[in-house]
Structures are given as C-alpha cells and as structure tokens.
Amino acid sequence: MGGVTMATSNTMPKTGEIATVISTFFFALATFLALSLGDASPVRAQQLPTYGPLPCPGHSKSYPADPTICVMTIKIFNDDPNHYIYPVLETGQGNNDLWMQAWFSVMNSQLAAKPYPRNNTYRIYINPTNGIPPHTGVSITLPLYTQLMSDPINSNPGTGLGKPDTFIDWWSGGNILVYTSPGTTSAVQPPSLTNAMLASTQKPLTIASGITPAPIVPTCVGVQSKFQPSPPAITCEPLTIYKDTASSPANGGSQLLEYTLGARNVNVAPRGATDWIAWWLDTSNVDFDVSYVNHVWMPAVMGPYLNDQVGYTGAPQTIDTFKGPSDGSSGLKYFQKTNVAGWPQYYDNYSNIPANTRPPAFTYLKFPSLLVIFQQLAGANPPSDLVPAISPTDWAKGPPASLAAWPPIQGLYTNWINYAGTYSGYGSCQGTYTPGNDINTWCTALLAQKALLLANYANYRALFNNRTCSGTPLTISDALLIGHLYGFTSWVEATGGSGCAPKINLLQDTPGFCVGTGCPTLTNPNGGDPAKRDYSNYNKVKTAFDKLNYTYDPVTNQPYYPGNPPYIFNPYAQLIHTASPNLNIPCAYGYSVDDAQGNVQAQGQGFIVDVGDTVNLENQHKCNPPINITLGYDPNVTPRFYKYAVCKISDQQPYDRVRPVIPGFASFDISAQNPQNCPIYLWDNKNDTDPSGPPKGQMYTFTMLTDGSTQGLNNAFPFFQNPANAMWTTATSAYVGCKGNASNPFSSQLWCCEKLNPPAGAGVYGYSMPIVAAHAQTQYTVTTIPAESCTTAASCNKTTSVLCNTNQ
C-alpha cells in the first residue's frame, strides 16, 4: 500500500513493492519466453542500462537535462448528497528518501552519504472552512518535491525528529484523511478537524526566500462533478502548508486513504562496474488504496487519473448507507449492534479546543481493526482513544483478563489460545506444523501461522546473538505473538537499540519457509540471489492466513476448510468484505496483508477520489484482475517497442492516448471487461527518438477476441499452473486477432502470428496463471515477441505463406 509510514516494522514489502516484485517477475519471465521463442530473437543475456528519473509525462528529456519538476494530479469529489467533506493531505517522515535519491541519480556508493532525510510531517488542509459541498470537487497538483532551502538541496542536513528539512517530498508516501460534516448539508467544520488544526505541535511553514528558481508548491482549483445535475465549480481556499512533528491522530471522524506517486526501481549493476546509479524513478506510476486496514469510518472510492483501464478500489456507497439505518439492520450500525458494548470505538475529547468553546466528548461510529487492537496488547498502558475505556489497573492484569470490557476481543484472544495453544504449549488443535505440508483444515491453518511466527522469532533471537540486530530482543509472550499474528509481521523490535534493519528477518525469509541457496542465513542475513529463493513453503502459510481472514470463499460462499469454522478468525474483515448486512467491499484492505484486491498500482498521472458515487472515475468497474500486456523487449536493441496506446489512439486530441514504453518495465494493463473492443497499438523506434511526440515508428496491433465473461476469459487464456511452461501454441494464440495489421508492413503481420511447422509458430499469445492469495483470482497475461528488425517480406526473407489468417 502507499501512504505515510509512521512506525518501523519489518514485515513483507509494502504493497507497491509487492506489486512491483510480482509484476517484474511476470515481465521478466514473459520477456524471456518471448525472446527465446521469437524466430529472429535468440536467447542472450541482457545487460540492462541504468537510469535515474524517467522524463516527466509529456516531456522528452529527464532531469537534469530538463529541469522541470514532475507534477501529478489528485482530484477529490464529493458526490454524497447529505454531507460536506474536508480532506487533509499529509506526508510522512523517514531517515532516507529513495525518490529524491532516484531523482538526483545518486550513485550506489553515495546512498549513505546522501540520504535526503525527512524529519517532519507536512500537512495541507483542503477547504477547511467551507469544505467540499455535495456534487462538487477540487483538483490538486502535487509536485514531486518542494524545495525549502537554498539551491542545491542539502542531501544530508542531519536526521532527527523536528530538525530542519531542505525539501518536502509529496510523492513517496502520503495520506489523505477525509473528514465529514456532522450530518448536515451545510458547511459546518467537524469538531475533530477543528481539534486537529489546533494541535500545538503544528505550525505554518515558512519557505526560505531567494530560492532560484522559485519552489514549486501544491495548487488547488475547483472542478465540476460529472454528477447530473451538479452546481458550478467551487473556489478553493488558499492552501497553507503546515509543519508538524506528529502524525494525525486516528480517533477523529476521518477516513484514511493512502497513496504513493511514482515508483522507485532498482538499477541492476552493469557488468564490471564499480559504481552505478542506484535507482530509477518511474514518473507515471501511481499506487493507492482506501485503507480500512487500521479503521473504518466512511466510504470512498479511488481510481487512476489518465488511465481508464483500471477498476476502482474502495466503497461506492453514500455515507448514510455505509453507516446504516438507526435500527442497526446494516452497515456500521449492524456491526455495532452485534457487538454491543463490546468492540471498541474511537473517542475524542477535543482537548485542543479551548474549554469555553469545546463541544462534549464524542464516541464515533468508527471501529479499529484487529491489527490495531492486538498490537497494543503488550503496551504498558491501555489505549486512551478507545471506549469502553480500560483502567490501568485492569490493563495490568494482562490478557485475557484485561480485555473484559471488550468481550469480542477477549473471545478472539481466548479462542486463539484454546485452539492454537500458548506460544509454548498446545491447544485443542494438537501437534505442530512442518513447513511444506499441505494445509487442508482449520486447525492446520492455525498451527501453520503459529509455526511461522515461532520460527521467525527463533531466527530473530539468533540474529541478536550474532549482533546482526542491535539492542535487546523482546521476550516472547502470548500478547506479543497474537499482535504479530494479526499484523502478519516479523520480529524486529528491540529495547535499548534500533532492532533489526529493514529487510532483515522478513517473514518470507524465515528458515524452513524460504528454501534455496539464495535465502538469508545467520552469516549472510541479507541473503544471496533472490532468484534462488523458493517461497513455496511460505506461500502455503500466507494463503492459509488469507483463508482464515476471509473464512468463506467469496465466490462459492462455502467455508474454505471442511465443516463450519470453530470461530470467526477476523470479524472485522467480515464486516469489510462480506455482503449486506455487512459493508460488501471486495476491493479494499480488510486486514494487514489484504493486498490482492485492496491496493491499486498502475500507470497514471495521479488519482481520483470520489465519495458517495463512482461517476467521476474514468473506469466505472470495481477492481478485477486486469489483462497484463507484456512486451518482448530488450532495452539494448534497436528497433524496440517505444510507444503504445490502448483501445484507441486518439481521444480529444491527436495521439493523446499514446504513452511511452517504460524502458525498465515494458508491461501495462488493460481492463478485462471487454477486451474484444480494445485493440492494442504498439510502435517501435524506427525513425523515432522523441518519447513525448507522435509515434513515427512501425505500428503493430492485435486484439484479444473474447468478452469479459469468466468463460470467455478462460477460453482465451489457457491456464498454466507454472507460467514457465506457457508459450505460443495454436491454443494460446487462438483468440489473438491480427486483422488490424493487414494494412501495416509485412513484418507487423509476421510479428502477430507466424506459421512454422504446424502446430508450432510464433507471435502474440495469451495464458493465465494462479495468483498466490486465497481470495485473489486468475492472472491473465498476453505476451508478445520483440519488435521486428525487418520490414518487408524480402528483408525478412519470408513469404506470405507463413502468415496466419489476418482476417481474424
């Protein structure tokens, strides 16, 4: 997931990183197959060039040749008929900034010397006085960064909370907190927003004068909603940037949305090089989610800006529908009714508001997730922002006795102990789990989670013993274990030290759950070649964790494991994902690693938020697995694919749908809704050197001739359990339409579909593969061979007899 990282935790990579890793694997595999199967493209080891930042969208050169600072757009619409909304945008802190390192092309040897720290939180309140009225919106432009001190930017001014910053990074991880008016159709600032704005740690920011060129700051303009009828566009209040040492509290009446703009990628070290540019920055990638992973308060949907091929994530309901009717028959009020005086709720006493104007303390219809609740169990003090309140005396008793005020939470804790056992003993699910064993029962699923976490803890202690990690490791307890369970997090924390470094002791690298010579060891805790790590054992446990959280298969509504489950492992995830009377949000985070459908990572130039409707999104379909188009591609070879367009070449202006192929990531997605109506257009770089201009190279095209039904997709994309076995056959190419190439050069037709000795051939083909997540669906992939070096039949040394039927 994107968003501000407020605490250090060593777990799986963030969602954006997961998506990049998975997609890069698919890209690398498919490109290898395409290169190896291409008639004119023998297999060869590729030496990838190194990059810094890619050009900003619409620009032909990268920084510093083009000094333009890239800008993305965030559009926020309120289409709820009965509430005003009040968004707040917030960046986070960090000891180093990989986005800035990528932008300034920092060499690998200089990463430690040029960390670009972010010592403070920066915040913008959007229309804090008047809000965003129903059926109106705003458009925010966010530069990659805002320079705060003289040029050039000091990359190492010192690290520490509250120390001066030399820049604000708006892209590398941010939060949007959406507050709502208190149930009226007039502009009444929510008291929790008023309270947040009066925080003593927050001050207006002053940017140093005399910076040349002038710093680029965020802007805001009102925009009209597509909802009909809608009022005229509103006027944005002037934006003020605030500086803070603290992040926004969770207990107010706001919903968390998370984002990351741009994508930092690793450059492969050139052969024989002693130093190289460490990272490259994709300036047209977006990553976002409506995050119910920590709490649930209100609905919102999100979709990419300038990419109509990706479905939305989040909840499209109105606020009142989301909360439910007063009788508690659905929505949040149903969850409250079924957990009366039980599931804790957030509470705000508005302590920052002066006593003479302070409203009464208020309990919000806002629920924390089990991730939040259980990770606080081992703390010295009870949570102060949740009710029913637990006294320090009761909290000191320790769980389960300390949880008496929260019966559903106490019951979940007790059930875990009763079935899985304590960290050192057995429960009613007898025995232990051995890594690699199948997980076919509820008890085995529980024991597998326990085995993974205990093995990770043992490795954690060993890493402290050999001084890989600093400080004193924590002594395991059942309260700590269940916090790691529902967070699905590895053990890294310490007292009197910084604990384990990032990427050390990751859950997937736990001994026994990672197999192969590339896995980390105590003597090599960073591990060796990632390609030599087999995560099959880990994936079985992760899949079981997903099944425990979902409990029921969302397609069949049947339990994942035989018989009725002894208890609901995660009622909060049920609230988020299951049908009415629950919230019925399949496309959102419902628990800690609910990435498969909760997070969106896609090409785009920003994102769109809508509350109460989907009308302003570019794609009106909810999240579904897209079709990934993976190009045969070698960045060192000319010709190579240079530009592409999806569905059509032009929209409002000539060639305005044409995009450059990303050199290090020659892959993009299209919607699986109606692929038969969405041709793919590709151009190579013959006679073309400008990535931002109209295409001038040779054109290639194809269409997947199937509808978006499950049966249609299954027919067009034959299933391969192991994607390494997928290749061009008459079956995998049967639904590839090459007709559009009839007027293109001969080699474009040859590229799309070439007959060799039947049934062999080469060209574009489609296949499907499993996604490692219990609730995720099938991954659909189309793979092409590389662009053709020849053009005519004569130069290709071919005849038309080798062409497939281009009438299809």
Of 45-54, 568-577, 702-711, 763-772, the one with minimum mean pLDDT is 45-54
Spatial distance between the Cα atoms of 696 and 746, rounded to a whole number of angstroms: 17
Spatial distance between the Cα atoms of 412 and 128, rounded to a whole number of angstroms: 40
pLDDT classification of 23: cutoffs 50, 70, 90: very low
Count of C-beta atoms within a 10 Å radius of residue 151: 12
Helices (H), 52-136: 98-103
Q: Residue 588, SS3?
A: coil
Each residue's pLDDT tens digit, 321-337 = 999 999 999 999 999 99
Non-local CB neighbours of 388 within 8 Å, separated by 6+ positions: 341, 344, 405, 406
Of the chain, the percentage scoring pLDDT greater than 90 comes to: 81
pLDDT of residue 723: 87
The mean pLDDT of the chain is: 91
CA dist 145 to 151, 214, 385, Å?
13, 12, 34
> How is residue 650 written in tokens?
């032009």
> How is residue 565 written in tokens?
């489950």
Average pLDDT over residues 382-411: 97
Each residue's pLDDT tens digit, 631-686 = 999 988 999 999 999 999 999 899 999 999 998 889 999 999 999 999 999 999 99
Sheet of strand 641-646, all strands in order from the earlier edge strand to the far edge: 659-660, 641-646, 680-684, 699-704, 736-737
Average pLDDT over residues 411-440: 97
Q: Based on C-alpha coordinates, what's the Rg of the chain?
A: 27
Buried b (16+ CB within 10 A) or exposed e, 699-709: bbbbbbbbbbe
Average pLDDT over residues 724-740: 93
Instruction: Spell out where 380-476 has E strands.
Output: 386-387, 470-473
Report which residue type is found at 104. Answer: F
Pairing of strands 779-783, 627-630: parallel
CA dist 452 to 493, 653, 727, Å?
17, 55, 36
Q: Write down how long the chain is.
A: 808
Count of C-beta atoms within a 10 Å radius of residue 497: 13
Report which residue type is found at 588. Answer: A
Average pLDDT over residues 169-195: 93
Cα dihedral 535, 541, 543, 549 sign? negative
pLDDT at residue 72 tops 60: yes
pLDDT of residue 772: 61
pLDDT of residue 319: 98
Average pLDDT over residues 253-259: 97
Helix, strand, coil percentages, rounded to 5, for the chain: 20, 20, 55
Tokens 């800035």 correspond to: 100
Q: What is the pTM for the complete model shown?
A: 0.92
| 229 touches 238 (CB < 8 A) | no
Cα dihedral 287, 293, 294, 299 sign? positive
- Could you tell me which of 344, 349, 346 has the C-alpha nearest to residue 361? 349
Tell me the domain boundaries of the chain.
Answer: 31-46+624-802, 50-322+583-611, 369-550
Query: Which contacts of 511-519 are long-range, i.e. CB under 8 A and separated by 24 or more positions?
Result: 511/455, 511/459, 512/435, 512/455, 512/537, 513/435, 513/452, 513/455, 513/537, 513/538, 513/541, 514/538
Non-local CB neighbours of 430 within 8 Å, separated by 6+ positions: none
pLDDT at residue 26 tops 70: no
pLDDT classification of 808: cutoffs 50, 70, 90: low
| 237 touches 129 (CB < 8 A) | yes
| 132 touches 120 (CB < 8 A) | no
**H-helix or E-strand containing 76?**
strand 71-78
Q: Residue 800, SS3?
A: helix
pLDDT at residue 92 tops 60: yes
Average pLDDT over residues 263-288: 92
Of 271-285, 417-431, 756-770, 786-800, the one with minimum mean pLDDT is 756-770
Q: How far is CA 139 from the centre of its chain?
A: 22
Q: What residues pair up with 346 in beta bridges, in sequence order?
A: 386
Each residue's pLDDT tens digit, 586-604 = 999 999 988 767 889 999 9
Average pLDDT over residues 47-73: 90
- Could you tell me which of 102, 113, 126, 108 has the C-alpha nearest to residue 51? 102
Opening angle at CA 64, ends 62 and 67, nearest 5 = 85
Cα dihedral 615, 616, 619, 624 sign? negative
Instruction: Kindly tell me the burial class for residue 662, based on how many C-beta atoms sit within 10 Å of its own C-beta (0-12, 13-18, 19 or more).
Output: buried
CA dist 377 to 248, 381, 396, 482, 570, Å?
22, 9, 10, 9, 17
pLDDT of residue 555: 81
